[in-house]
Amino acid sequence: MKLAPLPFTPTDWESVPATQHPGETGTATWRTLNVGDVRIRRVDYSAGYLADHWCDRGHVLYVLEGELETELKDGRRFTLTAGMSYQVSDFGDAAHRSATRTGVKLFIVD
């Protein structure tokens, strides 16, 4: 990952406009900054959220609050709690989708 030229930029995530993205169930709320080809997001999934697609984009994801369930297309499942992260590349066979029973707050760079 290479960030485009950017001055030092503190971010108050609550002031970044929110966009709503419905899942198969529940809703994802994104607050997004785009820096060149890099997307930086604070994402909140509502309780009962299940993604409506398999994602094969690379991410660095960090759980700020709550519990995230990640399922890989090959059937493997991982549960992440606050303070945990995952890293996945754009390459390979790691298509994944997210779910949460209780709701979760994430920080994602992709």
Q: What pLDDT is attached to residue 79?
A: 98
Give the span between the Cα atoms of 10 and 55, in whole angstroms. 29
Domain 18-109 classified CATH 2.60.120.10?
A: yes
Report domain extents, the chain.
18-109
Going by pLDDT thresholds of 50, 70 and 90, the confidence category of residue 87 is very high
Give the span between the Cα atoms of 35 and 44, in whole angstroms. 21
Bigger pLDDT: 7 vs 97: 97
Q: What pLDDT is attached to residue 91?
A: 80
pLDDT (tens digit, 9 = 90+) per residue, 4-53?
788 898 999 999 999 999 999 999 999 999 998 899 999 999 999 999 99
Q: Among candidates 39, 36, 81, which has minimal Cα distance to 59?
A: 39
Q: pTM for this one?
A: 0.92
Give the span between the Cα atoms of 44 and 48, in whole angstroms. 12
Provide mean pLDDT across the span 87-98.
88
Strand 59-72, strand 85-88: pairing: antiparallel
Q: Is residue 61 within 8 Å of residue 42, measured between CB atoms?
A: no
